[in-house]
Amino acid sequence: MGTENPGYPIFPARPTSSPFASSPPSAMTQQSGRPAGGSETSGFRPFPPSTSQNTRPPASGLVPPSVAPNTIPSQAPVPPFGSRMPLSRPPPPPSVSSPPTAYAPPGGGPFQRFPTPPFPTAAQTPLPVPPMGPPPAQTLPGQLSSPPVSFRSQQQVPPVPIGSSSQSFTSGLPGANPSQPTGDSQSFAPRPGFQQPFPPTSSYSGGAPLPGFPSKQINAIPPAPAVSFSPTAQSVVLAPPSTVAPYPPHQGGFAQPPALAAQQNLHPGYASPISNVQGLVEDFSSLSVASVPGSLEPGLDHKSFPRPLDGDVEPNSFAEMYPMNCPSRYLRLTTNAIPNSQSLASRWHLTLGAVVCPLAEAPEGEEVPLIDFGSTGIIRCRRCRTYVNPFVTFTDSGRKWRCNICALLNDVSGEYFSHLDSTGRRIDLDQRLELTKGSVEFIAPTEYMVRPPMPPIYFFLIDVSISAIRSGMLEVVAQTIKSCLDKLPGYPRTQIGFITYDSTIQFYNMKSSLSQPQMMVVSDLDDIFVPLPDDLLVNLSESRSVVEAFLESLPSMFQDNINVESAFGPALKAAFMVMNQLGGKLLIFQNTLPSLGVGRLKLRGDDPRVYGTDKEYALRIPEDPFYKQMAADCTKFQIGVNVYACSDKYIDIASLGTLAKYTGGQMYYYPGFQSSVHGDKLRHELARDLTRETAWEAVMRIRCGKGIRFTSYHGNFMLRSTDLIALPAVDCDKAYAMQLSLEETLLTTQTVYFQVALLYTASCGERRIRVHTAVAPVVADLGEMYRQADTGSIVSVFTRLAIEKTLSSKLDDARNLVQQRIVKALREYRNLHAVQHRLGSRLIYPESLKFLPLYAMALSKSTPLQAGHADASLDERCAAGFTMMAMPVKKLLKLLYPNLIRVDEWLLKPSVGENDGFKDVLKRLPLAAESLDSRGLYIYDDGLRSVLWFGRMLSPDISKNLLGADFAAELSRVTLKEQENGMSKKLTRLIKKLREIDPSYYRMCHLVRQGEQPREGFLLLRNLVEDPMGGSTGYVDWIMQLHRHVQQNS
């Protein structure tokens, strides 16, 4: 057949699907105007726009030592050399500039009709080429003169010794110039990190799956090369085959043997070739979602899917770049790169916001420093009221300081003045913690007080109806309160009071002059009044003996009570009337549905026809507006409400929980409460609530730089103004999410600052201000926003948005809300790379968001959102929603994807000391049924409860050592107790250790044996989120579903 290039082979079309590699970050940096170099430099050169004469291929792997690494090879003249292979073009004249277009082969010209063969023939095997001079550098078409901002460390790749033709020769092989869609006549050169293909074969075997990112190619006949994973470079590394290389080394050269070359490929800066068809370096991760030929099954290896088995992973580069930022446990942004324009923000379909936990527990030795300015007063910006922080700058020889939020110059008072050194730093900087620490606490002077600081106040509102007596709740509550009297914070200022109720309301006079408390009964529920208002709330240190006498006699006082009614609403109003002078914390213990007086409730949710309709959401909001109004009144008078609901029947958590939601409190739910089973859980959680450090009468505000503002807030609180959050009582277990938006079309600053300020009263009586300050860069690159994304923060915001959606829509709408946002984000990310890369049937995603699809699926299966009204009771859904709305990031992620660990092998090992090798046993397993071995013993732990699963074929000796004589009984009737043997003591220490890691909630240990239905399904199997269960989607199907939606309109 005649061609314009006689003597050239007729090439078949390139393969439709191409292998891929997740490339190292360092390989993406492109430097224009610099010479290309390094071992990754290829002989391949782009085609000029208009040249018809033929040239010969260049020498391979010949790079002078002075050439800079990590640059992109460009066009260069090469010496002629005889070989039958596709030849490159000479460079254009210097006066011809490359048009800024995308990477595309010529739209016309002599090579347009000839597709590239995927593999060379035997006659086309390249021969050694003598070295030539260095190629000149040239900016790639469409490449910017300077690379976008990147926070990843740039790795320098050392050059490879001259003569390593088996690694450096690319352009000499057919297939090095794959056909592309028509476009500009410029093509592209290989990026750094690409090396040479392996010996030609008749068919390509797709790369073996990378752990965490399966990449299964179809029709792979020969076995794939061995795969290893380089975590630092995030790339696939393929070891060369053991066959003899087709490119013999030059005599007298420095070519390496295959073994040495294989070792060199393990360097993080390298990415070995996967096929003879090479594309641009890929800085994303991906899953191949192709189908197995002849089957509808997806060609996916689910075992290699990304899973958060190491728990929450935070972006490291952000903390390293800004070491003076507050620790991430206090403030986490959804992405640590703020978009510079509204148009860029509109392409970020994931939420743009933050999660704040102002009183998060700090590790020992990292406590927040306390600063007292004394007579100087707290240093603040006089315009935006920002507190002084490490990011302010001092000028005018130290006499002025510039606010980092609004850029206003403020005067420095004489007491705070300090000279500046030659670099502009204060000479007393090391002594000023507020200028070196991102998190500090100031002692507030009197101008920050509208009244004297309140004392810690605990008021208990206790149900004493017959159900509360019979379940044992009253006895457990009385015993726990008495045991915690010495540990209540704020001694000797702490105050305490009690009200009990059934069909009447009982007040208790605990004046210190009394030897026994006096009960006063009010039976008029329509016109509540408070008898002896001055003696119902007493100082604990003065009335200690009276309080203890009351708590000792409380269970016996009502042991014969047979009253089934509950006047909860009137009792709540009475407690409010007692507390509204000072505020404090109101703890409610409710055991039955409110039935008398204002706020009485009726049974809801018993009609299954309502579920799935537009009226379904009404079941999850308060039935009576009384409760929301009472919550607003409590917030106004600094009263925080915690609700403990202990009932075996419907109790309307949707209404009761409203009291906790709008007062910054917490909802505790104990379904089917029996003191013999749930007593320890109630005892520990109540004790933590009473003894943990609490911030009283608090308000919180978040300031941010010019051009952006926070627009919505999500969590358990009341919004007092547009940006002031009212928190009558806040502690370390509360977190709050918020979303921000850009007010200006274009941000002109290089960075944006955030400052969280919590003004509160400490239990010791001091008024304090806790300040957390952080900075984030402003970027113009959507890809950088993805690279700096924080999965944990995104999931936390999504969780709150989805739960709020259930209060106004169907559950399906809430689940679809999360899925649609993720699909849009992945589609946008795919479009970002679709031009430069051959994506085929791959689902691509940034490395920072590799766990996001799994967490989103787990969220859709969580108790508040899971499908079907039979999967969870109405009270359970509402209680779980209130709990998750207040959870910090790490605890929420653990609840969505819990721990599953195997312990039987560890128990059989001899003890090694106090820790017993806990790190070895705490290795998490995927949450799938195939992780469970019938010969094993497993612990499931989601932070709220734990399950001990006994395999059907577990050794009887292990069961007997752990359970004693009950080892063969049905485990629903067995309670785990410590036995007198080493194995049982070892397991007890492990369970105790798990509880100590996160003491927020007490994990009851449920026992279940394989095959014990329905307990096994309820306690464990339905919580294995990766498996399809009850009509819900499994992990594989979820990925396929996301991929199908992403490919639509992409």
Spatial separation of the C-alpha atoms in residues 1009 and 407, rounded to whole Å: 65
pLDDT at residue 739, rounded to an integer: 96
pLDDT of residue 914: 62
Which pLDDT band holds residue 298 (cuts at 50, 70, 90)? low
How much is the pTM? Answer: 0.74
Looking at residue 972, its pLDDT comes to 84
Q: What is the pLDDT of residue 753?
A: 96
Spatial distance between the Cα atoms of 116 and 254, rounded to a whole number of angstroms: 32
pLDDT digits (tens, 9 = 90+) for 245-278: 333 333 333 334 433 333 333 333 333 333 333 3
Looking at the predicted structure, is the pLDDT value of residue 325 above 60?
yes
pLDDT of residue 310: 86
Give the pLDDT of residue 710: 95
User: What single string gives the DSSP state of each residue in 672-712?
Assistant: T--HHHHHHHHHHHHHHHHHS--EEEEEEEEEE-TTEEEEE
Is 223 a residue whose pLDDT tops 70?
A: no
Among 120-129, 493-502, 633-642, 684-693, the minimum mean pLDDT is found in: 120-129
| Residue in 527, 525, 499, 660 with CA at minimum distance from that of residue 595 | 525
> How far apart, in whole angstroms, are the C-alpha atoms of residue 1010 and residue 236?
39
Q: 738 or 61, which is more confident?
A: 738
988, pLDDT greater than 90: yes
| pLDDT band, very low/low/confident/very high, at 1032 (cuts 50, 70, 90) | confident
Task: Determine the angle formed by the axes of helices 852-860 and 791-805, rounding to 10 degrees.
Answer: 20
Report pLDDT for 285: 63
| pLDDT, position 47 | 43
**For residue 567, what pLDDT band results from cuts at 50, 70 and 90?**
very high
Element (H, E) at 356: strand 353-356
Do 689 and 587 form a contact (C-beta atoms < 8 A)? yes
Q: Is 313 a residue whose pLDDT tops 80?
A: no
| Cross-strand pairs, 341 | 746
- pLDDT of the residue at 1050: 56
Tell me what pLDDT residue 429 has.
94
What are the structure tokens assigned to 782, written together? 């959507």
| Helix or strand (DSSP H, E) at 1009 | strand 1004-1009
Label the pairing between strands 393-395 and 400-402.
Answer: antiparallel
Strands lying side by side in the sheet with 400-402: 393-395, 400-402, 409-411
For range 111-136, the mean pLDDT: 43
Q: What is the pLDDT averaged over residues 1027-1035?
A: 86
pLDDT of residue 1049: 66
Q: Is the pLDDT reported for residue 91 higher than 70?
A: no
Give the residue with greater pLDDT, 55 vs 668.
Answer: 668
Output DSSP code: residue 282.
P
Is residue 835 scored above 60 in pLDDT? Answer: yes
pLDDT of residue 50: 41
Indicate if the pLDDT at residue 974 is higher than 90.
no
pLDDT bin (cut points 50, 70, 90) of residue 929 is very high
The string of pLDDT tens digits covering residues 887-911 is 999 999 999 999 999 999 999 988 7
Give the residue-averaged pLDDT of 465-491: 96
Is pLDDT above 70 for 516? yes
Please give the helix or strand (H or E) that residue 568 lies within, else none: helix 568-579
Phi, psi of 1007 (to 5 degrees): -105, 135
Q: What share of the chain is helix, strand, coil (3-state, %, to 5)?
A: 25, 15, 55
Reduced to 3 states (helix: H, G, I; strand: E, B; else coil), residue 343 is helix
Per-residue pLDDT at 605: 77
Per-residue model confidence (pLDDT) at position 608: 78
Position 878 scores a pLDDT of 95
- Per-residue pLDDT at 1046: 86
Distance CA 935, CA 1012 (A): 16
pLDDT of 108? 41
Residue 836: name the closest of 30, 67, 119 by CA. Answer: 30
Residue 822's H or E segment, with its range, is: helix 811-834
The pLDDT of residue 215:
40
What pLDDT was estimated at residue 833?
75
- Collapsing DSSP to helix, strand or coil, 871 comes out as coil
pLDDT tens, residue by residue, 731-781: 999 999 999 999 989 999 999 999 999 999 999 999 999 999 999 999 999
Between the alpha carbon of residue 367 and those of residues 667, 699, 759, 763, the distances in Å are 28, 21, 18, 17
| Range of lowest pLDDT (79-88, 323-332, 422-431) | 79-88
Q: Answer yes or no: is pLDDT of 554 > 50.
A: yes
- Token representation of residue 976: 């785990």
Which residues touch 523 (CB under 8 Å, ≥6 apart)? Answer: 503, 504, 505
594-619 mean pLDDT: 87
Taking alpha carbons only, the member of 149, 16, 4 closest to residue 841 is 16
Q: How far is residue 709's CA from residue 614's CA, in Å, rounded to a whole number?
A: 34
Provide the pLDDT for residue 915: 62
Strands 724-730 vs 718-719: parallel, antiparallel or unpaired: antiparallel
Q: Per-residue pLDDT averaged across 807-812, rounded? A: 92
The whole-chain average pLDDT of the chain stands at 78
**What percent of the chain shows pLDDT beyond 70?**
70
- Amino acid identity, residue 807? L
Strand stretches in 796-906, DSSP E: 842-845, 899-902
* Cα 751 off chain centre by: 23
Confidence at residue 475, expressed as pLDDT on a 0 to 100 scale: 96
Give the residue carrying structure tokens 């979602």: 289
Residue 199 half-sphere exposure, CB side, CA atoms within 13 Å? 12
* pLDDT for res 854: 95
pLDDT at 983: 92
Residues 558-582: what's their mean pLDDT?
95
